[in-house]
Every structure is written in structure tokens, then in C-alpha cells.
Amino acid sequence: MLIPRKEDALHKAWLLRLLTAICEHPLLSRKLGFKGGTMAALRGFLDRFSVDLDFDLLAEKKDQPKIHAALETIFKDLGLAIKDQSANIPQYFVKYPVKNSGSRNTIKVDMWFPAPKTNQYEMTLVPELDRVMQCQTLETMVANKLVALMARHEKNRKIAGRDLFDIHHFLLQGYPYRAEIILELRKEPLPSFFKKLIHFVETHVTNTLIDQDLNPLLPADEFRKIRKILKQETLQLLKDELKRVE
């Protein structure tokens, strides 16, 4: 995982401490499926920094209190303070100690429930942890990221420039995606989905949005190179994929 700024080393260290505790916990290691940008970066699928922890919650609703209790015990044992948590979705904001009050000090821990039925997972070694974790497969990760750009906007009217960066990177690398997930989540044929995604990028994604969201996650030189071409190249990659699925 890239660390664009020296001060982000502390944040990464806390991400790894928390992940290590989760994958060593007998319940959480079975009921949480690691996903998202941090998972992709730690497995070498993505070359940017990532600041949050995202999981699929693979438990029945009746078992969720046990998941929350286990996580809150880990937070306490690590010395992490719960800064905030959602009453509606499984989500925490936990704070680690820092010397400077203006420094980054918060990790968002998000759990998605219910996870798509077509998601697939695998037990795999995460090298920087030197631990085995239950993670989304590569094909599952790419499919969920393709859906995320529009879904995030539909859910809370927000657009994440990092979603665009990730889609660009995954398609540029030729990574496969699990079409069944897109069909399950979007409930429309692939050609229709890609046409809507192309239109969404054309009309909603701006360089200002890319600058605000992506700048802290990349080294300065790399950010300057990618920001001018990111939208146009992503559109072309999506149009190429549309031709393949039509």
C-alpha cells in the first residue's frame, strides 16, 4: 500500500493493528469478509493509499450483537475510542491517539449487510499482516467497485473520486469482474448498466471532485499525472467494455 505522506504511516500502522486483531478473532475472522480499497491495496491489486476498513457482514441479523460486542472489545483492548457510530447501519468511527490535534486520527469501520448473494470470498494471505484473512475474490471486488460509483451517489448523493481511480486501475490492468454481482445489484443487463455508468461519469464526475477526494491518497507526482487523464481514460475503458458485452 502506498503512503503518500510521512504522517500517514501512523494511520496505516493502526489499520494493520486493527486488522490483525480482527483476523485473529475466532468469530470475526469467520463473519467478516474484508473488502474495499484497503483490502485491494494490501493484496497488491491497487496502488493508492486507503484510510478506511470495509467488510461484508456475513452473519444472520440475530448474530450481529455478538459481532458488535467482539469489535468493541477489540477497540477497547487496542486503546481505540469510539468517536461515533451509526444507529442505522453497522458502522463505527474509532479514534487513535495522536500528538498533534490537527492530524488524521480516525478510522471508519464499515460493515455491509446484507452482502450480495453472488459475492465470493477466499482465505488468502495478506502479506503486510502476515496473516490469512477472509477476503472478497478479485472478480467480486472489481464487480462491487463498478457498481459503487453510482450506488454511492444514489444512496447519499456523494461521489468518490477514488471509485473512479479504482475502476480506471482495475480495467487498465484487465482484471476480470463477476457479472452475476452486477446483475444482482443493478437488476439490468450488462449493456444497460455500462451505458448508464458511462453517462454518469460524463455528467457527474468533475476534475474538482477528483482533486478533493484523490489528492491525499497518491504521491504528488503521480496525482499530477493522473488527474488530467483519469476521467477521459476511464470513459474510454468503459466504452470498450460496453462493446465487449453488447
Q: Give the pLDDT confidence of 64-111 residue by residue, as tens digits.
A: 999 999 999 999 999 999 999 887 778 999 999 998 877 889 999 999
Grid cell at residue 237: 475503458
pLDDT value at position 102?
77
Q: Give the pLDDT confidence of 132-181 residue by residue, as tens digits.
A: 999 999 999 999 999 999 999 999 899 999 999 999 999 999 999 999 99
Beta strands in the chain (DSSP E): 32-35, 53-57, 81-85, 91-95, 106-112, 121-126, 131-136
The DSSP 8-state label assigned to residue 44 in this structure reads: T
pLDDT value at position 90?
87
**What's the mean per-residue pLDDT of the chain?**
95
Kindly provide the b/e burial profile for residues 27-63, where b requires at least 16 CB atoms within 10 angstroms of the residue's own CB: ebbebbbbbbbbbbbbbebbebbbbebbbbbbbeeee
User: Cα–Cα distances in Å, from 154 out to 101, 148, 149, 234?
Assistant: 34, 10, 9, 20
- pTM to 2 decimal places: 0.94
Strand bridging mode 121-126 / 131-136: antiparallel
Q: Is 3 helix (H, G, I), strand (E, B) or coil?
A: coil
Q: Name the pLDDT band for 122 (thresholds 50, 70, 90).
A: very high
Cβ atoms of residues 23 and 129 within 8 Å:
yes
Grid cell at residue 73: 472489545
The residue to which cell 476498513 is assigned: 53
Share of the chain above pLDDT 70, in %: 100
pLDDT value at position 3?
87
Grid cell at residue 61: 441479523
pLDDT value at position 173?
97
